[in-house]
Amino acid sequence: MRSNGKKIRFGVLSTARIGVRDVIPAMQHGKNTEVVAIASRSLEKARDVARHLGIPRWHGSYDALLADPDVDAVYNPLPNDQHVPWSIRALEAGKHVLCEKPIGLSAAQGRDLVEAACRHPRLKVMEALMYRHHPQWRKAKELVETGQIGELRAIQVLFSFYNDDPGNIRNSSSKGGGALMDIGCYASSLSRWLFNAEPQRVFGLVVNDPHFGVDRLVSAILDFGVGHATFTCSMQIAHFQRAHLAGVEGHVELSEAPFNPPNDRPCVVRLQRGGEVQRLELEVCDQYRIQGDHFAEAILNDAPVPIPLEDAVGNMEVIDAIVASGCSGVWVQPDGGTSELAGARAGRNGGTVRYTRNTFCPTEQNGTKGL
């Protein structure tokens, strides 16, 4: 494999909206990235999108793109159930992989990708959690780590939008849809990142849409011992985003689209300490461009990727545990335990159980049920 100058040449698996609208245009302006090919199951659709975005080549199948010798790395924005299978196939084809979040349908599936990556040590694989690359979150992390708000005690996140389109993949249970997988994964990820730890136990409440069978409303508590993270995510509440970090000496708030910030004006992080409030203005940027450049730098320099694949698996363990808690009504330890669902159901005594989600959880309790 060769790279064209100092840029990594990306091929895109599918014409998914997030790629066409956000990621591809950003990487076309990257310092270290260029998009040279796109694939769809429809050659005509691939051609139309390629011409619209100025991509030089298009393919009528994903396998054809993986066989393209001029593609160094693959961006995989396929539906959630296709993240791991096609990422593994890309590795087997000798391509680096930037895979959309969540990394898979479960922690077990994520571990399959880790094993595949270990078989190809010269190739890089990273989950596309774009928020971590944005300067507003780097600043928030810096404020926490340098003690600007004292010891972190609580994180609160609310993330919602309204989508009742039956044709949208987010409303397809077979494709791994639902609010928790689509947007709740950000809240669990940032909580683990900012506390710099894994939660000791989690509790989840999950409400499913009666028609689609996917979760439309999820609330969770993540207990880190030294503090808690709480979040609510929904695909059937009016659009809203906010993140609040509370320390013993101050607060940090990201109130303007913390996960989908504007790329045409500065973002602001609000720091409150004592009686003083500071508005910290961050430079205008595109988090998708930064994400692509960071991943490409790791390839060009043969360095570790910014977000290790093991972190993606850890996040899936938390998501699995939230689902298990929603099914069982008890606290669950997201530590990779292997108890079956029956064990979680049997533990309705207010205690804590271990559970790793491997299958659909149809149990319904008090109007709630798991994925």
> Is the pLDDT score of 357 beyond 50?
no
First to last CA, the chain: 41
Burial of 138 (0-12, 13-18, 19+ CB in 10 A): middle
Contacts (Cβ under 8 Å, ≥6 apart) of 189:
101, 129, 131, 132, 311, 315
> Is the pLDDT score of 150 beyond 80?
yes
Binning pLDDT at 50, 70 and 90, where does residue 86 land? very high
* Contact status, residue 315 vs residue 192, Cβ threshold 8 Å: yes
The superfamily (CATH) of domain 8-131+289-307 is NAD(P)-binding Rossmann-like Domain (3.40.50.720)
Per-residue pLDDT, 4: 47
CA 148, 151, 153, 154 torsion-angle sign: positive
Burial of 275 (0-12, 13-18, 19+ CB in 10 A): exposed
Binning pLDDT at 50, 70 and 90, where does residue 361 land? very low
> Is the pLDDT score of 365 beyond 90?
no
Per-residue pLDDT, 256: 83
Per-residue pLDDT, 239: 97
Task: Share the mean pLDDT of the chain.
Answer: 91
Query: Any idea how long the chain is?
Result: 371
Task: List pLDDT tens digits, range 288-334.
Answer: 999 999 999 999 999 999 999 999 999 999 999 999 999 999 999 99
1-10, 178-187, 209-218, 360-369: least confident range: 360-369
Structure tokens at 199: 């939660």
In this structure, the number of other CB atoms found within 10 A of the CB of residue 9 comes to: 20
Measured in degrees and rounded to the nearest 5, phi and psi for residue 251 equal -135, 150
Which residue in 187, 178, 219 sits closest to 326, CA to CA? 219
Binning pLDDT at 50, 70 and 90, where does residue 80 land? very high
Q: What's the Cα-to-Cα distance from 347 to each of 76, 134, 207, 352, rounded to whole Å?
A: 38, 41, 20, 7
- Range 185-206 average pLDDT: 98
> Is the pLDDT score of 222 beyond 90?
yes
Q: Global pTM?
A: 0.90
DSSP state of 81: G
Query: Which residue of the set 7, 31, 95, 101 is catalytic?
Result: 101
> Is the pLDDT score of 133 beyond 60?
yes
Per-residue pLDDT, 356: 39
Domain positions in the chain are: 8-131+289-307, 151-248+316-369
- Exposed e or buried b per residue across 193-224, where buried means at least 16 C-beta atoms within 10 angstroms of its C-beta: bbbeebbebbbbbbbbbeebbbbbbbbbbbbb
Structure tokens at 202: 């989690």
Per-residue pLDDT, 5: 59
What's the CATH class of domain 151-248+316-369?
A: alpha beta
Task: List pLDDT tens digits, range 27-43.
Answer: 999 999 999 999 999 99
Binning pLDDT at 50, 70 and 90, where does residue 363 land? very low
- Range 176-193 average pLDDT: 98
Bridge partners of residue 269, in order along the sequence: 280
Query: Active site includes 369?
Result: no
